């Protein structure tokens, strides 16, 4: 996290740490950030770079005009060529992160003549012509933050409005009565800090946020004929269900995927259930469409954390059985349709099926609310290698046999796309879409191998 | 945790720590416990004693006959009188815990003449005549563990059988191929370590567990006419839903509570939902009985831990809004029946109702799947003071107004008891009840003020 | 550490931790101790008991008359018999520590009739008749602390007077202006907190410290004819050089040992030096007596801590060379007399000699300012097993050869005793000896095998 | 720390941490460094940059030719101008450290044409023409390390030879039997790892270290007429006493300073003593020259760490009294000459004088074995601001009165320089000076205000 006082010259306060935000920082350190009245932060799993503190964002560098701070989400498809370009200019790169690369590109461009008045918007546009995707960026300079989404809109970026707490609650205001703007990859985060969803940054758009409010500066176009390419897996898996993309709630899209799955792959069974918690909207959708009763078959063991110590082979072999308890009464002697949101490697669903069968399920039909992943992502999503993906293994031929299920069916790519895009269309007149999305498109590269831009190596 | 080698003389290995088991211990320390082939452990929130390491169980003391280790769950109703008795004998008590008290009572009794052959079973019986409730105990001496439940059966205690892993999985056995017995307050823990539910320890029963297996030694009776008094709140709130008590699964009891609630307090509304996750079985029961559709209205924010740092008033005021996201599409413009499992202080449900209303719910009817708590528990459950309980406050008169709900209804005590006991009767012939429970009864003291034994002070 | 409010009833605040006081406690925890205006604390290496938190002193128990807290330094020579006695009475002992044993003995005795008015002084006297040595005790009950030294005076115990800070410094007083009394094993600690040395607790003496000041209550006598037995190794090794015992400063005794050593074992050499820092007073004494010049030959490497990570064999083999740097110019080409305070196992002096010789010393004569240790201590000092002591090994025959020295000489037992006792006599009229020590004696058991009391097993 | 495998292409392993080396790293992390057979490391107090992990050295960047790693000691006198130069080229600087600046300068220069064969030696020479002082550098590229000292030789740099352990000890060799070269600011570190002092890198010299051994590549000259400017405070204060600079041991120089001080400022007193431990060589020198007896007056309290918790005003006011114990017998009733190595702010010596006087010293004469510091250092030494230096305060007029001493005298600048340079001359024929130092000179800027180069801002 970096905050700026927005004064001239500004003072920047930086705070970085590894781990969950809850535990990585001490309260006294967080308080130091209050020096500033604008700031950018970042949390993510590192993709290109190794997960170490030096790669932590935001990346801050001192330039001839003062410090800039950059946070980004995504992965540059032509990072390798851009690194060479920067190094050929004589710049040593101290990390493997795209953030440093972007920051040094902004420091380099455009020509160095015009030293006195840095035109950061021109430099950002220049950057956007050098790399088409995938990035959502926040660039902070003095008292301004630029929010930028790549021309393909591959990564999400939303703007929220901080409502004064006195309007939220009748209780007194005091220190807390902040008004302002916030920007986030996921709109769900707004509610947590008392902000309201305002709108999305559009593909290719550069939005300026300052004490004068939100202002759209420019939209950098895609090559003629190219549709947008918003990552469809944000809907399927990554986003929190209460986030809003393209005017629709993620939960509703997942529920629609479940309904579509019930249409494509109906099942002769007694009950429908979920692998908690992420598959629950799809499971409820499947239940509604199919008319089968929805029951819970698994309860989560809240105290099994990721750091569980496994002192012997016995516990290791028990594996997933430690994570879930079987709610036997709800399915013993019955045929179960179990909805999962995705099957990537195939090794977590298998012990769950075994658990259900041992506890009395007569049949376990797996219905997956997304298509099989078959291809790598070069735009920031950490997908296992092609060889690790179950859809590319010989076992996929008889996947039901491999994982021990009675039957297995996936949602079709067309079904997924229609579940996603059908919703956008029907929301066309929804007031929540503050900027009209006249045209849309989604990246399905990991499912189809069709990448939105030609890949350079 | 204490393990014994079971040899003569045995070697005991002890490991204690504060916090979650995951984080309190290092792997290397856990490995030391493997010196033993029998052992007892304990995790709990301290009730009488302050939560410090010295109060940690099991309590181990050296006696003239060697070491004994004691773990217990519960709270002695006559602890104060028993402490005086022990101290009058000249014993200094180093902690405020009932475990130490029980252990010193076992060391003291019976008469000191018979020094050479300690009769621990006689001492345990003697202890059981001195204190009627509430305790489930594990007493380890050399190569034997005694599992003991008080005559009223107030706290649960179940026995499980460790199945050799080679029978669980076709994979090889090796080190992990342990056979044996485990005892736990909650049967749900058995599955996590690959054990099968075997049976409950009966009220008043002393069960011996040794390398010769499980053997019932004795059943100490209650006073003539007194029914058992198993804590009904284990069903309502404490137990994990996949645990089994008295032959029935906790989840099913909760679902039955929801059905009963729908019969007692039907609602004219559009959807039924839950405060995730504990109220979900009751909510599904309510939906089934009422015929209203079940939807999710809240999603949990997984990363909000208990230690969240709150640097300013704004975040503190936002309170519960940080913990849940609103799934707006599922209830905007609708009348919601929201099921909660219990309302104790009344200050957590209130911001949830506000959240739903701000997000568009037209009505929010609260239905509580248990009766109001009005009285303190003296048997080990940490209940707020009488003054803190919402049911004892003037605001309870207009609780709907107080918490901002359209209406509020609680399950009746009779309804709760029938939901619990109806299930036991219908399971009478269930093979899972290995020892027939010919008669049963439940402690409802916190709801009715009727305590199972007269309280001494 | 335990503090008491001294009110009726008092509130006790306890704080325990492992490790150095600096790091074991948090400031906020230490502040809690300020609830009390009297308190006792303890830091030590555990001797009988394993070093775990439960064995931490002070030991606090609740008795029929309220809580008592006990801190002790020493080891009971008849601990084993006393443990049996206590356990025969039906008391389970939860630790292996002598502190718990002493506390339970105080709780047990004398006869339980007189329950209403506990006579702790009678109980302490009774304890002192049951066990002759070795202990210095602090017993806190309500608003009184009893400071007790065993009849043989084996362990030290001194009283200091807290001077108001306004008398120490002309600066303002405020909160810090405390007056009062402190008790400590080592008088050197008084200066650190602004207290002045007052006097020693005499062998067998019970001193009461309360808001009414310091009062000598009683002196429990030794058996007729037995002299005191103050541990002579406190002078040789354990105590800080600025501590005062029996009216004389430890540093001066060590310097006198060095002089005596020069008289007993003169050396034909060029320079005298020290193994820093503990042997420096003896080395300076040796130099003064012998007339040889004193130089430094080794400097300490301040950053080599006990936790140094040793990633490979090379560093392990270098061993002590990491701890010291050779000050070559001061001894290259010269014959060195190197004074050490004691040689216990013989494996630390050896690499130092090698280091000096490699750096150019032509001869290295080792002179040890104490006699060889040959016997175990049963009174609280952690001495290696008899087999580990170099003085009991065959190598001792040619110890110079074994450790690589040109020659090795030890101080004689008589020389040590005269260096110690000569000083006490010459200080006879020193005003610092507030209570006249008319008769004295020292325990030399580890050197001579003559124990002050007959040992029971 | 960074290690390289020295293969083509090499693999670099990096390890960074804050705090003492002992505690900053885990053994498992250190073991990873063993991937390499050459490496560079760094420990220091940050001077220009704030002390945070990102500023940690060595600085590693990826260039068009692969990675280079740079560690440096010192501070560039023209850093500000060089930063502007680098940023004008379009490079963003991510830290405030000179290490990053040096690394980016190496990456930039010389002209980018000759991309295929990077001539690092030419680039280093170019760097040395751009900045005259102050730096000692280690530059690692693939399988070579360049050791570089600035033309003025302001910071030290020594080469040591790793002797095979089998030659050090007769014990077996195995894994530990490494042969090789080590480079360090202080030669004292060689002994700790079993290396022997080989020689110093000369002012302006570039030395190449590789598997082919040590090779002097070039000596970049100073401007005509400029003498070298080795920091004289390395002798006075910074270096460990067993380090060797310019052929002489630091301890011996300090002892000579003490002798010179006795000549310049004799004292009518009874004993000479030291503020342990750094002033001890000077105190022994003073005692030898003056004929006064040397005694110890203070002993260090080993357990007072820097992190000591100070819960109340009392302990804060006691201040330095906690760090030292008074060895009263050695000076009570006597006139003391107390030698200190330097007095910078004047606030640590004052409580020591008070301590000695309270304990009975009749007079306390302070003799300082170095001249007063009056000017800031721009070459890497962290000196308090001009205003904080006691020598620039009005109180310096009557410094004896200000600090409570009977009298205060400092060593003269001429006396210091003669103590330092006299030793080098007399060692002229010493075999330890492997490379003849035909001419020498020292930086005394902090004492005289005469800087070795004109300062640019």
| Chain A neighbors (3+ CB pairs < 8 Å) | B, D
Confidence of residue C26 (pLDDT cuts 50, 70, 90): low
Residues C330 and C399 grouped into a single domain: yes
Yes or no, beta carbons of D22 and C308 under 8 Å apart: yes
Q: Is the pLDDT of residue D308 over 50?
A: no
Same domain membership, residue B134 and residue B66 = yes
pLDDT (average), residues D65-83? 91
Which residues of chain B neighbour C64 with C-beta distances below 8 Å?
Answer: 84, 87-88
Closest CA to D177 of A52, C312, C33, A88: C312
Cα separation of D146 and D142, whole Å? 11
A231 is in an annotated binding site: yes
- The predicted model gives A60-85 an average pLDDT of 91
Q: What mean pLDDT comes out for the span D16-21?
A: 54
Average pLDDT rounded to a whole number, residues A428-436: 41
Distance of alpha carbon B203 from alpha carbon B425, whole angstroms: 18
CATH number at residue C399: 3.40.50.2020
Distance CA B187, CA A386 (A): 42
In a domain, D62, yes or no: yes
Whether the per-residue pLDDT at A9 is higher than 90: the answer is: no
Average pLDDT, integer, range A159-169: 71
How many whole angstroms separate alpha carbon A166 and alpha carbon A176? 9
Closest-CA residue to D73 (of D155, D153, D147): D155
Query: Is the domain of C260 the same as that of C209?
Result: no
Structural domain includes residue B446 = no
Q: Please give the angle made by the CA atoms of D98, D100 and D103, to the nearest 5 degrees.
A: 110
**The model scores a pTM over 0.95:** no
A377 is in an annotated binding site: yes
- D394 within a domain of the structure (yes/no): yes
Chains that touch B (3 or more CB pairs under 8 A): A, C
User: For residue B136, what are the β-bridge partners?
Assistant: B73, B149
Whether A221 is in a domain gets the answer yes
Q: Are residues B139 and B279 in the same domain?
A: no
Q: How far apart are CA C413 and CA C443, in angstroms?
A: 11
A330 and A390 both lie in a single domain: yes
The CA distance from D338 to D404, in Å, is: 13
> Given an 8 Å threshold on Cβ–Cβ distance, is D30 in contact with C326?
no
The SS3 of residue D189 is helix
Asked whether the beta carbons of residue D93 and residue A61 sit closer than 8 angstroms, the reply is yes
Name the helix (H) or strand (E) containing B336: strand B335-340
Residues of B in contact with C107 (CB under 8 A): 87, 90-92
* Whether residue B334 sits in one domain with residue B268: yes
Nearest to B321 among A25, A191, A294 (CB): A191
The confidence score (pLDDT) of residue C110 equals 56
Q: Residue B207 sits in which domain range? A: 2-157+201-226
Q: Enumerate residue ranges in chain B where pLDDT < 50.
A: 18, 22, 25, 45-53, 113, 169-176, 304-312, 314, 428-438
In a domain, C454, yes or no: no
Q: Is C446 annotated for ligand binding?
A: yes
Which pLDDT score is estimated for B380? 83
> What whole-number distance in Å separates Cα of residue B442 and Cα of residue B230?
5
Q: Nearest CA of chain C to the CA of B166: how many Å?
A: 39
Residues B305 and B214 in one domain: no
> Is the domain of C6 the same as that of C135?
yes
Does residue D453 carry a pLDDT above 80? yes
Helical axes C120-130 vs C98-108, angle rounded to 10°: 120
Give the closest-approach CA distance of A114 to chain D in angstroms.
Answer: 11
* Residue B110 CA: distances (Å) to CA of B118, B124, B205, B221: 9, 10, 20, 20
Residues of B contacting chain C (CB within 8 angstroms): 16, 53-54, 59-64, 68, 83-84, 87-94, 96, 100, 103-104, 106-109, 112, 115
Q: Is pLDDT at A306 greater than 90 in this prediction?
A: no
Nearest to B87 by CA among C436, D174, C62, A53: C62
Share of chain A above pLDDT 90, in %: 53
**Max mean pLDDT range (A397-401, B256-260, C300-304):** B256-260
Rounded distance between C-alpha atoms, residue A179 and residue A161, angstroms = 8
pLDDT score recorded for residue B198: 93
Residues of D in contact with C165 (CB under 8 A): 313-314, 317-318
Residue C266 above 80 pLDDT? Answer: yes
Span C373-424, pLDDT tens digits? 999 999 888 777 888 888 998 888 899 999 999 999 999 999 999 999 987 8
Minimal CA–CA distance to D198: which of D164, D159, D163? Answer: D159
How far, in Å, CA of A378 to CA of A455, rounded?
Answer: 9
Rg (CA), chain B: 24
Question: Which of chain A's residues have a Cβ under 8 Å away from the Cβ of B300?
Answer: 277
Residue A108 lies in a domain: yes
Secondary structure of chain C as H, E, C letters: CEEECCCCCCCEEECCCCCCHHHHCCHHHHHHHHHCCEEECCCCCCCCCCCCHHHCCCEEEEECCEEEEEEEEECCCCHHHHHHHHHHCCCCECCCCHHHHHHHHHHHCCCCCCCCCCCHHHHHHHHHHHCCCCEEEEEEECCEEEEEECCCCCCCCEEEEECCHHHHCCCCCHHHCCCEEEEECCCHHHHHCCEEEEEECCCCEEEEEECCEEEEEEECCCCCCCCCCEECHHHHHHCCCCCEECCEEHHHHHHHHHHHHHHHCCCCCCEEEECCCCCHHHHHHHHHHHCCCECCCEEECCCCCCCCCCCCHHHHHHHHHHCEEECHHHCCCCEEEEEECCCCCCCCHHHHHHHHHHCCCCEEEEEECCCCCCCCCCCCCCCCCCCCCHHHCHHHHHHHHHHCCCEEEECCHHHHHHHHHHHHHHCCCCCCCCCCCCCCCEECHHHHCCCCCCCCC
Q: Distance of CA B390 to CAs A34, B151, B349, B394, Å?
A: 38, 33, 12, 8
Q: Can you tell me the distance from the alpha carbon of D100 to that of D57, in angstroms, rounded to the nearest whole number?
A: 9
Per-residue confidence (pLDDT) for residue C211, from 0 to 100: 86
Rg (CA), chain C: 24
Mean pLDDT is lowest, of B82-86, B335-339, D43-47, D290-294, for D43-47
Question: What pLDDT, on the 0 to 100 scale, is given for residue C7?
Answer: 75
Contacts of A282 (CB under 8 A, 6+ apart): A254, A255, A257, A258, A261, A274, A339, A341, A369
Burial of D99 (0-12, 13-18, 19+ CB in 10 A): buried
Instruction: Return the CATH number at D136.
Output: 3.60.20.10
Burial of D295-312, coded b for 16+ CB within 10 Å and e otherwise, reads bbbbbebeeeeeeebeee
For B65, counting Cβ atoms within 10 Å of its Cβ (0-12 exposed, 13-18 middle, 19+ buried), the class is: middle
Q: Burial level of D355, CB count in 10 A (0-12/13-18/19+)?
A: buried
Confidence category of residue A221, pLDDT binned at 50, 70, 90: very high
- Number of structural domains (chain B) is 2
Q: How far apart are CA C439 and CA C228, in angstroms?
A: 8
Q: Are residues B274 and B213 in the same domain?
A: no
Residues A265 and A219 both lie in one domain: no
Nearest CA among C210, C208, C209, C226 for reference residue C218: C208
Instruction: Tell me the per-residue pLDDT of D108-147, one tens digit each, with 9 for 90 and over.
Output: 865 554 556 788 999 999 999 999 999 999 999 988 999 9
Look at residue D83 in the predicted model and tell me its pLDDT: 94
Q: Which residues of C touch D278 (CB under 8 A)?
A: none
D200 compared with D45, residue with greater pLDDT: D200
CA A36 to chain CA centroid, nearest Å: 27
| A321/B192 touch (CB, cutoff 8 Å), yes or no | yes
CA separation for the pair C338, C162 (Å, rounded): 41
- Domain match, D124 and D253 both: no
Q: Name which of B305, B299, B384, B298 is nearest B346 in CA terms.
A: B384
Distance from CA of D361 to the nearest CA of C (A): 16
Question: Which DSSP letter does residue B437 get?
Answer: -
CB contacts of D92 in chain A (<8 Å) are: 61-63, 68, 103-104, 106-107
Question: Is residue B445 in a domain?
Answer: no
Closest Cα in chain D, distance from residue A12 (Å):
13
Mean pLDDT value across residues C187-196: 84
Residue A432, number of CB atoms within 10 A of its CB: 14
Confidence of residue C49 (pLDDT cuts 50, 70, 90): very low
Say if A424 falls within a structural domain: no
pLDDT digits (tens, 9 = 90+) for C228-258: 999 999 999 889 999 999 999 999 999 999 9
- Out of A365-369, B7-11, C349-353, C435-439, which region has the weakest mean confidence (pLDDT)? C435-439
Whether residues D29 and D138 fall in one domain? yes
């Amino acid at each position: 996290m970096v905050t700026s006082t927005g004064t001239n010259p500004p003072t920047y306060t930086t705070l970085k740490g590894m781990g969950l935000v809850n535990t990585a920082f001490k309260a006294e350190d967080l308080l130091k950030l209050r020096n500033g009245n604008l700031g950018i932060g970042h949390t993510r799993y590192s993709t290109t770079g190794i997960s170490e503190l030096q790669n932590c964002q935001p990346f801050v560098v001192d330039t001839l005009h003062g410090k800039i701070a950059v946070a980004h989400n995504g992965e540059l498809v032509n990072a390798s060529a851009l690194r060479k370009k920067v190094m050929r200019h004589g710049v040593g790169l101290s990390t493997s992160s795209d953030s440093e690369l972007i920051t040094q590109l902004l420091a380099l461009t455009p020509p160095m003549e015009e030293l006195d008045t840095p035109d950061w918007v021109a430099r950002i546009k220049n950057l956007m012509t050098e790399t088409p995707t995938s990035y959502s960026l926040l660039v902070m300079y003095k008292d301004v933050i630029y929010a930028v989404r790549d021309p393909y809109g591959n990564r999400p970026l939303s703007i929220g409005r901080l409502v004064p707490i006195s309007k939220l609650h009748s209780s007194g205001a005091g220190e807390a009565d902040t008004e302002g703007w916030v920007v986030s990859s996921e709109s769900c985060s707004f509610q947590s800090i008392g902000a309201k969803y305002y709108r999305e940054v559009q593909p290719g758009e550069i939005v300026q946020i300052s004490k004068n409010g939100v202002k759209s500066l420019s939209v950098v176009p895609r090559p003629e004929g190219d549709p947008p390419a918003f990552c469809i897996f944000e809907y399927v898996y990554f986003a929190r269900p209460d986030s809003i993309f393209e005017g629709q709630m993620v939960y509703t899209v997942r529920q629609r995927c479940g309904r579509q799955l019930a249409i494509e792959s109906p099942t002769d069974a007694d009950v429908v259930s979920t692998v908690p918690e992420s598959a629950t909207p799809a499971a409820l959708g499947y239940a509604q469409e199919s008319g089968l009763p929805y029951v819970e078959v698994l309860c989560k063991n809240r105290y099994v954390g990721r750091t569980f110590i496994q002192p012997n082979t016995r516990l290791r072999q028990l594996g997933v059985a430690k994570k879930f308890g079987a709610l036997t009464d709800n399915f013993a002697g019955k045929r179960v349709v179990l909805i999962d949101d995705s099957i990537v490697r195939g090794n977590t669903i298998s012990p769950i099926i075994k658990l259900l069968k041992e506890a009395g399920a007569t049949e376990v039909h797996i219905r997956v609310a997304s298509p099989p992943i078959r291809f790598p992502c070069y735009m920031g999503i950490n997908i296992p290698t092609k060889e690790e993906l179950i859809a590319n293994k010989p076992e996929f031929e008889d996947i039901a046999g491999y994982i021990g299920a009675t039957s297995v069916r996936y949602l079709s790519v067309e079904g997924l796309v229609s579940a996603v895009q059908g919703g956008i269309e029907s929301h066309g007149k929804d007031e929540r879409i503050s900027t009209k999305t006249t045209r849309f498109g989604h990246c399905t590269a990991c499912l189809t191998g069709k990448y939105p831009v030609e890949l350079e190596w």
